[in-house]
Chains A and B, each alone.
Chain A
Amino acid sequence: MRSVRMRLLGALAVGLVSLLSLVKPAEAVPSFASQTGQPCSACHIGSFGPYLTPFGRAFKLSGYTLGGGDGLASEIPLSGMVITSFTHTASAQPSPPAQGFYDNNNPALDQISLFLAGRVNDYVGGFVQGTYDGVGRAFLWDNTDVRVSTPINLPSDTNLRLGVSFNNGPTVQDPYNTTYAWGYPFASSALAPTPTAGPIIGALIGNTLGMTVNAWYDNSLYVEIGAYGTQSPALAKMLGQYTYPGTSVGPMPYARVAYEWDWSGQAAEVGGLIFNARLQPGGIPGFGTDGYTDMAIDGTYQFIGDGTNTVSILGIFTHEIQHLNSSVAQGLAGTTNGYLNQFTATATYFYEKTYGINFSIQKTSGSSDAVLYAPAPLTGSNNGSPNSLGLITELDWVPFGKNDSWAQPFVNMKFGLQYAVYPQFNGGGSNYDGFGRSAGANNTLYAFAWLAF
């Protein structure tokens, strides 16, 4: 029993993100549409959040302060969101994935969210999301980004905007959909197994508090620095955060640089970020710390044109250096020094901002560790390897959210049909977990309906 618990703690300690899918960020905020007087399609690729257009990024970087809407609705910063779904895996799971569900073929109320989202004045705006997780059956404090932003007068007439963000996870404040908080898939099943290993930065979204300062120069160069600290275990528990990799020791620095080109209905971006964390795994003191350094390069291309045909490509490569001193001392890992690489790339096409198709590749590889990635039914690895490959195809239909749509901008919906294929899962193709399960058994069909109002 103790061994199982220790392994679980170890899994949490090194930033395993299978549980992260339970709190996959999702955002669609019609109160921003009311505030700006714009349809959802102005800010979002495919007329639905969270995939941002160039204007959507500009709106975010200007602190969510842009107005333009009329009437009382434009003054009310409240929105809601509901996601329901059906999940089918190629083979049933060894046991139901959550209390009250079956081992396969699960309909679910994924989540209900309320947003406080809008501008305060010309300099302050943001959003705070509270979510009822229908799978975990718990309330949680979800994504939050409150920004202060102001334009600066330069003698050259070139635009410069400075800002501060207070948020609850690294990259929640990032304007690009390459990074972890708002990356693809924008919705995924909380009831299907997903590859176990992922960069620590992704596992610290929601359970940290951070402040960053940013500069946006010439509407092109984005520079940001800041630091994060984990919430105390008691606070995280109170706020419903059931993913808690550890307690930070000292501030966790974060730096981000990106450069964007916008021209003739097209946009391109290249950038990078670096993040460092020292954690006490599971919040347990007395064994030193685990150290992580995540470094990433990312890129974006978007063809918007006149909105009839929209093509978008996202990519990010992350390299993580691990020093698992505490985990080794606690018997949670077998090797002190390790690494993890993750590459994701996603191509999206939308016709008339309504009918979409997405293709995504999600590749993880890293150093092997037979203790850290131990055999376990469904979630373990038979060979101690974190290597996984996932291929996702998704069809989308967004009937509303355009300028002439029904009930615009107060109601929007997205219907999606997503299929994830796993040629490799936690290090293997057949018997990957040491208990006879094949990677293909985790292939997942996920159908969802997403309502925002």
Chain B
Amino acid sequence: MSVRVGVVLFPGSNRDIDAINGLTVAGAEPVILWHEQADLDGVSAILLPGGFAYGDYLRAGVIARFSPVMRSVAAFAGRGGPVLGICNGFQVLAEAGLVPGALLRNRGLRFVCRQVSLRAEHLDTPFTRELAGAGPLRMPVAHGEGCYFADDATLDALEADGRVLWRYVGEDGEVAAPDERANPNGSLRGIAGVRNAAGNVAGLMPHPETAVESILGSDDGLGILRSLVVSAREYAQTGELSGVRAAAAVAAS
């Protein structure tokens, strides 16, 4: 039985079709969740796709945060459901405070659209569990505000807590510093994606959903979407997720 995974559609989303295709290739049944609906239609995971929600007015992602669907997404995340935000979806999650940090204007000021290499930092999470054995992952970025920022204390805590999930790496496989070309936006400590304290909500700037078939130039992104779909299936069947922490443990930390 295929599992239902929601794709949130804001006015200005433009990677929703790619997300739907990627989830389909990964074995899920995608379900569009319109931004004005509060009902999540029985989905077992949620993907926030890329684009320019509400025109990115004011700050990327901020106005989307106040939409009816996002209140339901926040509640779903609070119940432990898996949520993945990609690109603009990451910006929405960051503005909503569902994942730590902020995405600043790219250090080079330009919109950057090209292939990058990523390294998954942990393979025991709901978003990386199908990446075992994979080398650096090739997939595109396409954004103007993707420079990951958090203060040093927060960055230290994220690293110590295993919450940095993906980093930009150079051809040598080493983490790309903010001023290196392999780091497309100047992200601190090469961070391309992070997750929340509980571990069930993650955001990343690059686009795994447009790297799911070799005809697209890379299928390295498929493992991330398959991880989400496996997690959705697990959450649908058990109401829980592997690789996350109980709410009580998070509250105590």
Q: Do A and B come from one complex?
A: no
What residues make up the interface of B, taking CB atoms closer than 8 Å to A?
none
